[in-house]
Amino acid sequence: MGSVLAASFPNPPPASGGGSAPGGAGLVTVPPGFTMPPVSAVPPSSGTQGQPGTDAESSLHNPGTFEECHRKCKEVFPVQMEGVRLVVNKGLSNHFQVSHTITLSTLGDSGYRFGATYVGSKQTGPAESFPVMVGDMDNTGSLNAQIIHQLASRIRSKVAMQTQQHKFVNWQCDAEYRGDDFTAAVTIGNPDVLAGSGILVAHYLQSLSPALVLGGELVYHRRPGEEGTVTSFVGRYTGSNYVATLTVGGAGAHASYYHKANDQLQIGVEFEASTRMQDTSVSFGYQLDVPKANLLFKGSLDSNWVVGATLEKKLVPLPLSLALGAFLNHRKNKFQCGFGITIG
Amino acid sequence: MAAIQELSPDSGRGETRPPEGEIEGDDEDEELDETLLERLWGLTEMFPESLQSAAEVSAQCSLSVAKKLYRCGAGSCILRLKPDCHINSRNNLDISVYIFRIMLSCSFSRSALWVGTTSFMILVLPVVFETERLQLEQQQLQQQRQILLGPNAGMSGGMPGMMPPAPGKL
């Protein structure tokens, strides 16, 4: 069931998308009124390997997608939890999986969410099959849906949409081409032919050496009476046990460093500077993995005086997993904690 | 009569005899009333003036630090200095600057202690608990294995007891 789990949403997208929710991929700056749905990308296959040969270029691997450049570092950081969450996952067959989520929250709304994942039978790799259809519906009727399909041997496409109750908030379509040592992707977000508005995002990533990857992103947004372009460049260097990434663009700079100290400890350091908010922040995070104790602990420390941690423990004889999280903001003296249980 | 005339101004002078003599005379009366502390305090007068004032300043400052290490009221630190202490005017500014620094540092030390404790509690404590629990469990398992399989099988994956040595030549 590896492919089914891999394709499901890592966190359910927030139901209250609204017009001011920050966008999803990379450093896309979208002006207010536009939102990019926070959809997750399908994890990459091991990459289309070039033919073995004496040519230096053929030893280059596919660099992956643009969104994944900062992902390794981001995964080390804990996620803020609030309230109580109960998740029941049930696999009905090799292709189909269903999940029920009950969220009880002190700050927001409590609700029930039903999710379903279908994985097709066209197998492209050991962990991937296509098409993948992921859908999620809330008790208020808000729907999130994604369809990912491999159209040809190197072309993959995704269609995603998000509604809030009955109103469509986000709809986007993207196509990605994976070459031997490069990846190109085009995304169209919220196209509205009648109003003449929409967002167009183009990504290109090229691996120049086995360790170095460079790329760029171009965002073109258009509304009646207004249009603009934002560009940014990304560079990623992979060492023996570390990955350093830098994104510089019109929206600011974002640098991240991921280091794998040993089997149990992984460390991430992130630096973000935003021109729109005119502020910078540095975060330090670590992940401690103790499989003998069935424990996964993530902690983070921020320059905004925010300290947070998440602890996940598998309660072994039963297929239960307990997650506890706590976040403390020293400057504002605010504390938030939550826990969740996952069954199955 | 110069001698007789001399007597009258002399009597006036007699009233203003040199003060040491007078005080000595008074001292002899008051010596019995001095307490032990006053006598010890009098001993300090043998030290030079600068040393006395320096010792006074440092004693006052350390006393106020010890008192204010928990409580911290704005402006009250200066007011709580003993009013009857003789402080040299040139040291007044130094003392007030020092006390302001103490005020800032004691609220700093309090909040630093709070921030440190809560951050340690969130970031480090759960991992410590879990690893200790794991160690205890492993120890227990080892002990159980020892009891079950004999003292030589205490090691993980140990063989179930050694075979008795083969009988030698009879």
Digit-coded pLDDT (tens) for A91-114:
999 999 999 999 999 998 999 999
Comparing alpha-carbon positions, the chain B residue that sits nearest to A295 is B130
A255 found inside a domain: yes
Report DSSP letters for A210-275, one per residue: SSEEEEEEEEEEEETTEEEEEEEEEEEEE-SSEEEEEEEETTEEEEEEEEE-SSSEEEEEEEEEET
CB contact under 8 A, B115 and A330: yes
CB contact under 8 A, B130 and A295: yes
A188 found inside a domain: yes
Over residues A68-92, mean pLDDT: 93
Tell me the whole-structure pTM to 2 decimals.
Answer: 0.67
Residue type for position A202: A
Digit-coded pLDDT (tens) for A243-292:
999 999 988 999 999 999 999 999 999 999 999 889 999 999 999 999 99
| Pairing between β-strand A167-178 and β-strand A155-164 as defined by DSSP bridges | antiparallel
Domains of chain B, by residue range, sit at 29-148
Mean pLDDT, chain B, rounded, equals 72
| B8/B79: higher pLDDT | B8
- Is the pLDDT assigned to residue A80 strictly greater than 70? yes
CATH number of residue A238's parent domain: 2.40.160.10
Over residues B114-131, mean pLDDT: 93
- Check if A334 contacts B (Cβ < 8 Å): no
- Mutation pick from A264, A290, A295, A303 vs chain B, by most beta carbons of B within 10 Å, is A295
A164 found inside a domain: yes
Digit-coded pLDDT (tens) for A144-194:
999 999 988 889 999 999 999 989 999 999 999 999 999 999 999 999 989
pLDDT of B89: 55
* Domain that includes residue A235, residue range: 67-343
Is B150:B159 a contact under the CB 8 Å cutoff?
Answer: no
- Check if B7 contacts A (Cβ < 8 Å): no
Q: What is the tally of structural domains in chain A?
A: 1
A307 found inside a domain: yes
Residues of B in contact with A288 (CB under 8 A): 127
A11 found inside a domain: no
- Is the pLDDT assigned to residue A26 strictly greater than 90? no
pLDDT of B44: 80
The interaxial angle of helices B89-123 and B49-68, nearest 10 deg, is 30
Banded pLDDT at B74 (limits 50, 70, 90)? very low
- Is the pLDDT assigned to residue A21 strictly greater than 80? no
A24 found inside a domain: no
Digit-coded pLDDT (tens) for A211-229:
999 999 999 999 998 999 9
- Is the pLDDT assigned to residue B153 strictly greater than 70? no
**A257-265 long-range contacts, CB within 8 A, separation 24+:** A257/A73, A258/A72, A258/A73, A258/A76, A263/A289, A264/A288, A264/A289, A264/A290, A265/A289
Digit-coded pLDDT (tens) for B90-106:
566 777 777 667 666 78
Nearest by Cα to A201 from A27, A39, A10: A27
Q: Which class for A308: exposed (0-12), middle (13-18), buried (19 or more C-beta within 10 A)?
A: buried
